[in-house]
Structure 1
Amino acid sequence: MTEEHNDDGTTRRSFIATGTAATAAVALTAAGVGWAGSSLAEGQTLPLTPQCTDGDDTPPVIEGPYFRRNSPLRTNLRTAGVTGVLLSLTGFVYDLRCKPLANVLVDFWQADQRGAYDNSTTAYRGRGHQFTDANGAYTLETIIPNEYPGRTPHIHVKVQAPRGPVLTTQLYFPDNTKAYNVNFAAANRRDAYYIRDTVIPLGPLTANRYQGKFDFVVRTA
């Protein structure tokens, strides 16, 4: 596969390779709080991660066994054969001083509507990377992944500012998410890697689609 280059000539491969050892030194935080029409049940509250404040960060989550290098450059993971409950995810990437960061690598991978990863084909189904725009924004069109034995539904992601360390983490879903007859509350409780700090705040389910927002905070050196 042809290796993509960002504007300063750095390849995606060098982005990932240079920061692997520094995974624990990076951080993220969820955002999008106070949405009108939240999907939370009446009287239920979701503990919020800290909004971006100078020097504020939260721990990463393990990579897991299914990461594959050289995913396609794309913002839409809903390729042929991928169906399910839709998710439109947006957000920004900030540095520790809350400055939006342009040209940041954001690499996603996830299970499909059956709870399966595409590990054996060249289609890279459920996988893709992109770079933040001039305002530090990213956008992802995908589906809510299904659970599989031992794991609650989640989305994997690596985030890396140009020549910075790599943040490897996993994004989770609120307890009252509705998809595939999964009891998200029970699945979240059972998952040893689940942390509420990386839950995506979701709007209401409308026409089989959730809108979510998640902002990342990463180190740049």
Structure 2
Amino acid sequence: MLDINRRRILLAVSGGVLLASPSLALAQRLLTPAQTLGPFYPDQLPLDRDNDLLQVEGHAELAEGIRVQLHGKILDGRGAPLEGALVEIWQVDARGIYLHSRGGDRARRDSNFQGYGRFTTGGDGRYRFRTIRPVAYPGRTPHIHFAVTLPGQPRFATQCYIRGEPRNPRDGLLNAIREPALRELLVVPFVPVAGARQPEQVARFDIVLGLTPAS
């Protein structure tokens, strides 16, 4: 048995395809490259840090923007769900401003948007958030930051992008991933919800954690 301290955690977004006992080479092709945590991870976490970013505790109004049901699973390399994974997300509000103190014009920030949320997976490995469709801000295509942490393991950060977004081909960070197949692992559909009273979309972003022995 491999010493867990000598293992290296790698993350992959499966896009619905599980890693079913692949060779190491195949697994490495499917694993997503890391994406930066970025400079705007909240420098002070909000008091309300649940998985509903649309509703801030004590505020009567909901956040501006197109509502999104964001969900997925955290899985291991065999496709088994992982329990106890802390999933964090953070993103700009509908005006392009982060929760971070240097993340934009504070006077313009939507105070009804939580900006950050977290969810700990149960036995089924599932996570779920209510948030808004991400918007662009200067220099970046729309995206949602993700981080996943398993007990005793370092936090791994990545980002989720919108399939069909016209700014994607010009985003330097996304296109730093040179191989198109790997780049596409981070890009998922945001699908309109039929019959919704207000504009609403749903997006699924499954994350697969692969373990490989350290070299």
TM-score relative to the length of structure 1: 0.69
Could you say what the CA RMSD is over the residues aligned between the two structures, in angstroms? 2.7
Which residue does the alignment assign to 1:216? 207
Measure the CA separation in 1 of the matches of 2:95 and 2:113. Answer: 16
Q: 1:82: Cα distance to partner?
A: 1.9
Which residue of the partner structure matches residue 159 of structure 2?
A: 170
Partner of 1:150: 139
CA distance in 2, matches of 1:90, 1:98: 17
* Residue of structure 2 in register with 1:27 after alignment: 11
Cα pair 2:54 2:113 within 8 Å, conserved: no
Secondary structure of 1:27's aligned partner:
strand
Structure 1 residue 167 displacement after superposition: 1.8
Name structure 2 gaps, 5 residues minimum. 1-6, 56-60, 175-182
CA distance in 2, matches of 1:105, 1:76: 15
- Size of the aligned set, in residue pairs, is 173
| One of 38, 51, 65 as aligned partner of 1:84 | 65
**Contact 2:188–2:205 at 8 Å: present in 1 too?**
yes
1:27-106 residue pairs with structure 2 within 5 A?
Answer: 27-32=11-16, 50-54=17-21, 56=27, 57-68=31-42, 70=45, 72-79=48-55, 80=61, 82-106=63-87
**1:152-186 C-alpha deviation (Å, 9 max, x unpaired):** 000001101221232200000011xxxxxxxx22x
Give CA deviations for 1:93-127 in whole Å, capped at 9, x if unaligned.
Answer: 01122210011000110011111102238998210
Find 1:189's aligned residue among 149, 169, 178.
169
CA distance in 1, matches of 2:168, 2:18: 23
Percent identical: 32
Structure 1's consecutive aligned runs of 4 or more residues displaced over 6 angstroms after TM superposition are 121-124
Runs (5+) with no aligned partner, structure 1: 1-21, 33-49, 176-183
Residue of structure 1 equivalent to 2:58? none
> In the alignment, which residue of structure 1 is the partner of 2:179?
none
1:190 and 1:67 map into 2 onto residues whose CA distance is 23
CA distance in 2, matches of 1:220, 1:133: 20
